[in-house]
Structure 1
Amino acid sequence: MAAATRPPNRPPTREIDEQTDIGEVYMRSLLRAQLRRGLTVLAVVALFLAALPLLFTVEPRLASVRILTVPLPWLLLGVTIYPLLLAASWWLVRAAERTERDFAELVERN
């Protein structure tokens, strides 16, 4: 009796390098995870930016508040936006690195 032949055991890195269907699934999952994280950061930043004008529309007295002769809306837009963008960028880069590291471990393990 002849033994059934098994297809050769191919590592996932080879699947990705040769752009096979399985490699495409691996890459699509990585890109989907990265896109999900990016859209999450975008949503948080957009919500914050949209909330500021709404806040001043709902409570118009805040627009007349001055701190060291600078109107509060200008101060909030000029001072709070940049740390928010910096923090969001830092978190996104760290999350992307973590996702890529997890992906590499998954690929190496298989």
Structure 2
Amino acid sequence: MAEEQQPPPRRETVTAVPRGVRRRPPAHAPARSEISEHTTLGATYVRALMRGQLRVALGALGALGLLVGTLPLVFLLPGTGSGAPVWAALGLLVYPVLWLIARWYVTRVERNEADFTGLVTDPAEPPPGPRRAGRS
């Protein structure tokens, strides 16, 4: 019997940038180098991040102060002598509001950090992966 001839395997060409060719530097200097070299522009970037984080922290602290500051007014309301409505207000109103303030704070701080990371990283680099894997 005649053996069937198979066509020769197809050749694949792999193309890449030649090793001697360097990648073009970005059009602007990444802010990371400005920060690591302690230039005035790098200090401005870090100061802007710190101001943003401080602004969020003061907002959360102000909301917490309003919440805790109004608690004595709950005790002054008429009919709170028995104690049950006061504990109901403390248990049912204060803790969920505390949780909301904390959640708002964490969300805003993470957004500030993500904006700063986007500013600092080189656009040619891949973005960093999510860092929330260990959280529950």
- Scaled by the length of structure 1, the TM-score of the pair is 0.73
Equivalent residue number for residue 102 of structure 1: 115
Equivalent residue number for residue 45 of structure 1: 64
Q: Name the Cα RMSD after superposition.
A: 2.2
Do the aligned partners of 2:35 and 2:43 also contact (CA within 8 Å) in 1? yes
Render the CA deviation track for 1:50-74: whole Å, top value 9, x for unaligned.
Answer: 11212432x3x14136xxxx61112
Contiguous gaps of at least 5 residues in structure 2: 1-27, 124-136
- Which of structures 1 and 2 has the bigger CA Rg? 2
Partner Cα separation in structure 1 for residue 79 and residue 115 of structure 2: 46
List, as ranges, runs of 4+ consecutive aligned residues in structure 1 with deviation greater than 6 Å: none
Partner Cα separation in structure 2 for residue 46 and residue 80 of structure 1: 15
Partner Cα separation in structure 2 for residue 95 and residue 109 of structure 1: 23
Contiguous gaps of at least 5 residues in structure 1: 1-8
- Scaled by the length of structure 2, the TM-score of the pair is 0.61
Do the aligned partners of 2:53 and 2:109 also contact (CA within 8 Å) in 1? yes
Q: Would you say how many aligned residue pairs link Structure 1 and Structure 2?
A: 96
Alignment of 1:1-110 (within 5 A): 10-57=29-76, 59=77, 61-64=78-81, 71-108=84-121
Q: In proportion to residue count, which structure has more helix?
A: 1
Deviation at 1:108, TM superposition (A): 3.7
Deviation at 1:14, TM superposition (A): 0.6
Percent of aligned pairs with the same amino acid? 36
What SS does the corresponding residue of 1:63 show, helix, strand or coil?
coil
Deviation at 1:35, TM superposition (A): 0.6
Do the aligned partners of 1:56 and 1:62 also contact (CA within 8 Å) in 2? no
Do the aligned partners of 2:74 and 2:86 also contact (CA within 8 Å) in 1? no
Deviation at 1:42, TM superposition (A): 0.9
